[in-house]
Amino acid sequence: MNLEHIELVEELEEHLRRYASDFPTILKDIQDYCSYESIKLNFFIDRKIKLPKSEKKKIQNFLTSYLQGIPYEYITNHAEFYGHRFFVDPSVLVPRPETELIIDAIRDLSCPRLKAIADIGTGSGCIAISLAHIFQQTKIFAVDNSLQALSIAKINIDNHKAENVFPVQANFLECIQNESLDVIVSNPPYISKDDPHLERLTHEPISALVSDENGLAHIKAIFKNSFQVLKKDGFLVLEHGYNQANAVNKISDETGFKLIKNVKDYQDIDRIHICKK
């Protein structure tokens, strides 16, 4: 059965006006969602188009989830990262634009023979798989301690036909041989338990976000483990919190690493630590 399109448009507009503080953004997201789902209607303009009942239901479900604050990427089950499309669901973090800087940083490393990389805390696999597109001859271990996260990474590995990426369930680097890696990369959980930003992140897995010791426990463990499993002159490339650069530089130095550089994010804040064994 077809329903009058105008009914739906009016209903949506009413919802949007009543609940959404950011009308243009939500409107654009709904339009993107509709074309992504091949409805292919510019339904906010052409009010004469009739929609099948199933499509109306889908748009209503979208709107309900959106207004509950569920990230757009979880509703549509996809996220963009470094120009690639990744499947995501609430068992993995939604990839962030600043994390793309990690890929550029590794691309720019002067490391002639890149045989093996490990991505610690791979989540959706976005870092490991983006690197696999660039370094096609390099073995890339996509490590996570969450089986649910790894099952999502596996979907993405298959979708991208990333045959040089190997999912590994492990706590940090515990299963990796000493002195075997050229590069270790990680975007670990680094938010402190009492950080007020957590209030806005309630739909993402807490195990991907929060770390003890003011957000530094995972970072400390990664530094400690990395020193053993990196080859001589191997690199560690790590994302950290907006206020953690000094603490991370100190941990790095105390572990015996040589600082290569701190990379700033789009807000001009130090975000990525690059060091060498």
Ligand X SMILES: C[S@@+](CC[C@H](N)C(=O)[O-])C[C@H]1O[C@@H](n2cnc3c(N)ncnc32)[C@H](O)[C@@H]1O
Q: How far is the CB of 246 from ligand X (least distance, A)?
A: 21
Evaluate whether 90 touches 43 at the Cβ level (below 8 Å): no
- 215 near ligand X, judged by CB under 6 A: no
Which residues, other chains included, contact 30 with Cβ-Cβ below 8 Å and sequence gap of 6+? 12, 59, 62, 63, 66
Pull the structure tokens for residue 242. Answer: 């907006």
Q: What SS3 state is found at 136?
A: coil
- Shortest distance, position 265 Cβ to ligand X, whole Å: 13
CB of 209 to ligand X, least distance (A): 6
Q: Which of 55, 181, 188, 271 binds ligand X (CB under 6 A)?
A: 188
User: How many residues line the site for ligand X (CB under 6 A)?
Assistant: 24
Q: Which of 56, 66, 146, 162 binds ligand X (CB under 6 A)?
A: 146
Q: How far is CA 236 from the centre of its chain?
A: 19
| Residue ranges in 148-187 that form contacts with ligand X under rule CB under 6 A | 149, 171-172, 187
Q: Within 216-275, which residues bind ligand X (CB under 6 A)?
A: 218
Tell which one of 95, 167, 215, 241 touches ligand X (CB under 6 A).
95
Q: Using the rule CB under 6 A, which residue among 76, 145, 180, 228 binds ligand X? A: 145
**Is residue 132 close enough to count as binding ligand X by CB under 6 A?**
no
Beta-carbon contacts of 216 under 8 Å, excluding residues fewer than 6 positions away, are 190, 244, 247, 248, 251
141 binds ligand X (CB under 6 A): no
Output 208 or 237, the one with its CB closest to ligand X.
208
Q: Report the alpha-carbon distance of residue 66 to residue 84 in Å, rounded.
A: 23
For residues 220 and 154, what is the distance between their CA atoms, to the nearest angstrom? Answer: 27
How far is it, in rounded angstroms, from Cα 94 to Cα 3?
A: 35
Binding region for ligand X (CB under 6 A)? 92-93, 95, 99, 120-124, 126-127, 143-146, 149, 171-172, 187-189, 207-208, 218
